[in-house]
Amino acid sequence: MKAIRYNDLDFTLERAGEGWTLLRAAPGGARAVAGTGLFPSLSEDAARECALALVRTICPVGVRSVGPDVAHPHRIGDLRIVGPDVAHPNFVSWDKDSVSCPKEPRPPGPRVPAASSD
């Protein structure tokens, strides 16, 4: 079993017969199958590289901004529901492997309490 961590998501790659199974570790210890029967007859290292490329494709790092589709509202009686415009989504991507903010090291020494503005 090979562990893969990408974009703060944990995946495992396990051999399953001739291929490999890619599992996503969900919160609470549950696991979800991301793919099975993948990369038949590849070595463990080659399968891990392919699995990482697959994970980067199915879980891209970035911000997807979907605006409302005001031209095509869903109608329920007189009510018009304006949903997202999934036909023309905007996607901003960058080459960072995680969306987590980096932790800044705390300077050495005692902590000084913040001054009150009374």
Average pLDDT for residues 12-40, to the nearest whole number? 89
Residues 50 and 73 grouped into a single domain? no
The answer to whether 94 and 61 have CB atoms below 8 angstroms apart is yes
pLDDT value at 114 more than 70: no
Cα dihedral sign, 30-59-102-45: positive
Which domain range does residue 87 map to?
A: 64-92
Residue pLDDT, tens place only, 60-112: 776 555 666 667 777 777 777 776 655 655 555 555 555 555 556 666 666 66
Let me know if residue 110 belongs to a domain: no
Residues 48 and 75 grouped into a single domain? no
Q: How many domains does the chain have?
A: 2
What DSSP element (H or E) covers 18? none
Average pLDDT for residues 24-36, to the nearest whole number? 87
Let me know if residue 31 belongs to a domain: yes
Residues 18 and 53 grouped into a single domain? yes
Residues 53 and 7 grouped into a single domain? yes
Let me know if residue 101 belongs to a domain: no
What DSSP element (H or E) covers 25? strand 19-25
Let me know if residue 68 belongs to a domain: yes
Residues 29 and 74 grouped into a single domain? no
Query: Residue 48: its pLDDT value, please?
Result: 92
Q: Which residue has the higher pLDDT, 65 or 26?
A: 26
